[in-house]
Amino acid sequence: MYVGDYVGRRALYTPDHLAVVDAGKVPHRSFTYSEMNSRANRLANWLRDGAGIRRGDRVAMLAHNGVEYLDVFFACGKLGATLVSLNWRLNWRELAQLVEKTGPKVLVYSDEFKAAAAQIAQETGVIDHWLHIEGNGIANSRSFEKTLADSVLRPVTTEDMTEEDIACLIFTGGTTGLPKAAQISHRMIAWNTLNTIIHDLQHGDITVNTFPLFHTGGLLVYTLPLLILGGTVVLTRKFDAEQVLRLLEDYAATIYAGVPTTYQMMTGAPNWSEVDLSNLRFCTSGGAPLPVALVERFREEKGVLFKQGFGMSEFGPGVFALAPEDAITKAGSIGRPNFFVDARVVDAENRPLPPGQVGELVLRGPSRSSGYFNDPEATAAAVDAEGYFHTGDLAMVDEANYFFIIDRKKDMYISGGENIYPTEIEQVIYRHPAVEMCAVVGVPDPKWGEVGKAFVVLKPGHAVNEETLLQHIRYHLAGYKVPRSIEFRDRLPISAAGKILKRVLVGESPEPEEHQPS
């Protein structure tokens, strides 16, 4: 079976190579490809024989990162089943709605989410079988590890699977309503892996994954492509800057992916000055433009080069890459499209725009998702007649085919008839030496409709007042772009993926992240 059984195929080639380190366990647990394949086969046998899971059925996961997440993904792949990756940041009521929407027959959950699992069991009648990773679990729940130990060890394959079968559902946010479930096919995974290998990966690469595995950044950016290639993935339970730096050194990681916020946090970790990052071939950053000062600090203090990336749940997620040699000269760019990705910038009438003009970024290629689960209207609205996926991102391309994300359509605000792009302002604020972290949002104003408000966290031991920082912004930007106010905070709300939750800053409920680093 050449489709779906990733760990089974890899175990043929490099059975004894180190595949996964679960650094969320104490002590760390390590698994070869042969061991990962045995675990997946045991789980697949129970899912098939004990839970009645067949091709096309769904198995949900509500858990922190750990080897168990990959066990479920690989077991589903062997069966032709679909992993439903639930965002553990959601309220149990939201989770119950998503369970009703996607209809999984089995739920695997961490002990930390036992209360949510109990509520889901009480409020829905969808799930037939429950597996708990730690603790005692809810009523009628089985121990995950005991289930593996009690299951037979024999190969499981589903020979009639095709590349269009859905491997997993990853939820992506919207401005209203429930998150949509992007359908990630095995075809999408294969083409994303090829794009990632062409631009990023080498045999023998090692990465530390700090994105949650319910997130496209956690499962699909480097974790799965690297496991298909035969590398090593070190999993963390949650992002902790000090731990991540230690793991990068201890496991001699060669690549790492994060977002600007996580890199800022790493430079402030107590072990930053002493940690050895010399094995890193490069770091990849996405989600937002990477401040030049941060690029320079990593290069000067640690000898680490950066690549800028861009991707999303519905496409790739390996869509664009900016080479390390362009990190400063093309600062702010997401780079050029990856090898098998077609990209252009269009106006409101879907006409291609020339270099230098701002429009919507649209994408085409075989690494596009298969639409949204049970949502034909949203699926049809996202793709035009030429097969281009409409991202909702405002972008520009230059004469050399380097793309720049100007902002999200929803993040842009209009002040006095002028379009204001928060990303541009944030880049200027980051140039001030006292600033550790910042975010700019549009807030209502009776005269101008909306005006900008900046939220700023200062570096330890630094001080700057509002007027001084506003003067710094005025020096670099036109007056209409300057925020009307600045609020200093000790910290900013951060998502599981390390991105700043702007909607929380303005008092709204956070939505699951749409676009992720690649």
Q: Alpha helices, DSSP H only, in 361-447?
A: 376-382, 422-430
* pLDDT of 515 strictly over 70: no
Q: What are 491-507's pLDDT values in tens digits? A: 999 876 677 888 788 77
Which residues in 57-81 are b (16+ Cβ under 10 Å) and which e? bbbbbbbbbbbbbbbbbbbbbbbbb
Distance of CA 448 to the CA centre of its chain: 35
Helix (H) or strand (E) holding 383: none
| SS3 (DSSP) at 126 | coil
Question: Per-residue confidence at 1, pLDDT binned at 50, 70, 90?
Answer: low
Lowest mean pLDDT among 241-255, 272-286, 330-344, 443-457: 443-457
Residue 502, pLDDT score: 85
The pLDDT tens digits for 336-363 are 999 999 999 999 899 999 999 999 999 9
Structural domains in the chain, sorted by start: 6-161 (3.40.50.12780), 417-516 (3.30.300.30)
Tokens of 14: 């490099």
Sign of the alpha-carbon dihedral angle for 218, 190, 102, 57: negative
State which H helix or E strand residue 346 sits in: strand 342-346
Q: What is the dihedral of CA 440, 446, 448, 452, to 10 degrees?
A: -10
Give the confidence band of 149 by pLDDT, cuts at 50, 70, 90: very high
Residue 453 has pLDDT above 90, yes or no: yes
What pLDDT band is residue 91 in, cutting at 50, 70 and 90? Answer: confident
Q: What is the pLDDT of residue 471?
A: 95
- Full-model pTM: 0.83
Please compute the mean of the pLDDT values over residues 438-467 and round it to a whole number: 90
Model confidence at 292, pLDDT cuts 50, 70, 90, reads confident
The per-residue pLDDT for 497 is 66
Number of residues assigned to the chain: 518
pLDDT in tens, 204-223: 999 999 999 998 999 999 99
pLDDT in tens, 35-49: 999 999 999 999 999
Kindly tell me if the per-residue pLDDT of 470 is higher than 90: yes
CA-based radius of gyration for the chain: 23
Tokens of 244: 């991540």
pLDDT band at 286 (very low <50, low <70, confident <90, very high): confident
Closest by CA position to 251, among listed 300, 203, 204: 204
Residues 173 and 183: their CA atoms lie apart, in Å, by 14
Which residues sit opposite 342 in a β-bridge?
364
**What is the chain's mean pLDDT, rounded?**
91
Q: Looking only at Cα atoms, what is the longest distance across the chain?
A: 70
Q: What pLDDT score does 513 carry?
A: 44
